[in-house]
Structure 1
Amino acid sequence: MFITGCSTVTKISRSGYEEAPHKVLIKNGNIELRSYSELQLVETSMNPQGEGGFMRLFAYIDRGNSRSQKIAMTTPVYIQKKNNGKTMAFVLPASMHKDEVPAPTGINVKTGIRPSGAYAVYRYSGKRIDGGSKDAKRSLNEWIVKKGYRSLSEPINAYYDTPWTPPFLRRNELMIQVDTDHP
């Protein structure tokens, strides 16, 4: 009964959020090749322990922007290693045109674009571990090589659930942008 209750709560909490639009091109077990259009993001840097980003981004979507506009929360939340640290990003709603994106008013918050393209994605549950689970990273890289694709990005972690969702019910993904035409 506990598992059923948790599952229902998780589905309800997810169902209220728009998910970054994509098309599944290939599905092979836990791995998918997806096509994403350009995504508009709001992002911020995090400390080396991966802390400090969420509340700055939440402030932005909760009227902490140049238009004092409330913006809908979406999923997933992206975390990626960049330079000597990490960045956390929220995807802005697909209905928001590029020209409608308000400027951030908070410190260390900026808007940006994630380029369109093909992404190899490994889906797993469990705790949010830096870089995704080791098995996810290894399996995804092996699959990319086996398919003859070329990696174009560092791994991107995608998290769909709240921190209080039991780990075994969480939807986590590890993504790598790939070139499917030129190995």
Structure 2
Amino acid sequence: MKSSLPALVRPLLIAGLASIAASCSLFTELKEPGYVIEKSNPAFELRRYDSYLVAEVIIEDDFEEAGNEAHRPLFDYISGENKAQQSIEMTVPVNQTPAEKSEKIEMTAPVNQKPAGQGKYAVQFVMPARYTLETLPEPLDPRITLKEVPAQLMAVRSYSGTWSRELYLENEKALFSALNEAGLKPVGEPTWARYNPPWTLWFMRRNEIVVPVSE
């Protein structure tokens, strides 16, 4: 019986992994804000983004938990919990940005969040491009704000892996160091952009750190 167990488990494991991969592929097909790559660097891409709309909620929590707490009100909004009772298709990424001005430190790591990552974060769902601020359904939840993110030049560092604050800070430091070497000046807070559902295997995740830079 012991020798037959692996043979029984193996097909289930393969089927489970295939199901996860299929679910992940659906998310890779979701639409994202339009942009043009203006320059590629080993450490980052320079992208010129079109303007886009977001639904945003401010969360006061730990860095790694803010997205989880924000997910329910934002997901309810796009699922029809709005004055028009209208469902809105899912897009990517889910953005998370400090909602409080960060303390500046040395140029290689200019953003210092609170020691344990505790603070206020603006978490955003990107809205489909077919909407305007006038045509987006009005939220029922007063915590949700609809706003436009203006067109701008952004430096973007992509990485795979877990959603830990430690890995985020490691890549944030690498991004700001590379920007300093390239002579590019950040002009705003970095945004943490996540493109995959939480059940995506860590090595298949697309994570990005996005920061506006001067022209």
Q: If the length of structure 1 is used for normalisation, what is the TM-score?
A: 0.89
Cα 1:8–1:67 shift into 2, 3 Å: closer
Of residues 98, 120, 132 in structure 1, which corresponds to 2:155? 120
Deviation at residue 107 of structure 1 after TM alignment: 3.2
Stretch deviating more after TM superposition (125-134 or 33-42): 125-134
- Partner residue of 2:89? 72
In structure 2, runs of 5+ residues without a counterpart are 1-12, 101-118
SS at match of 2:157: strand
Partner Cα separation in structure 2 for residue 88 and residue 131 of structure 1 = 19
Greater Cα radius of gyration, structure 1 or 2: 2
- Partner residue of 2:76? 59
Partner Cα separation in structure 2 for residue 53 and residue 68 of structure 1 = 20
Deviation at residue 119 of structure 1 after TM alignment: 0.6
Question: Which amino acid letter does the alignment assign opposite residue 120 of structure 1?
Answer: A
Of residues 206, 210, 213 in structure 2, which corresponds to 1:171? 206
Partner Cα separation in structure 2 for residue 9 and residue 57 of structure 1 = 21
- Partner residue of 1:26? 39
Higher strand share: 1
Cα 1:27–1:78 shift into 2, 3 Å: same
Q: If the length of structure 2 is used for normalisation, what is the TM-score?
A: 0.76
Deviation at residue 98 of structure 1 after TM alignment: 3.1
Q: How many residues are matched?
A: 179
Of residues 9, 28, 42 in structure 2, which corresponds to 1:14? 28
Structure 1 position 155 matched with structure 2 position 190: yes
- Partner residue of 2:7? none
SS at match of 2:121: strand
Identical amino acids, percent of aligned pairs? 25
Q: Structure 1 stretches (4+) deviating beyond 6 angstroms?
A: none
Higher helix share: 2
- Please tell me whether the aligned partners of residues 133 and 146 of structure 2 are also in contact (alpha carbons under 8 angstroms): no
- Please tell me whether the aligned partners of residues 103 and 110 of structure 1 are also in contact (alpha carbons under 8 angstroms): no
In structure 1, runs of 5+ residues without a counterpart are none
SS at match of 1:57: helix
SS at match of 1:121: strand
Deviation at residue 68 of structure 1 after TM alignment: 1.2
- Please tell me whether the aligned partners of residues 157 and 174 of structure 1 are also in contact (alpha carbons under 8 angstroms): yes
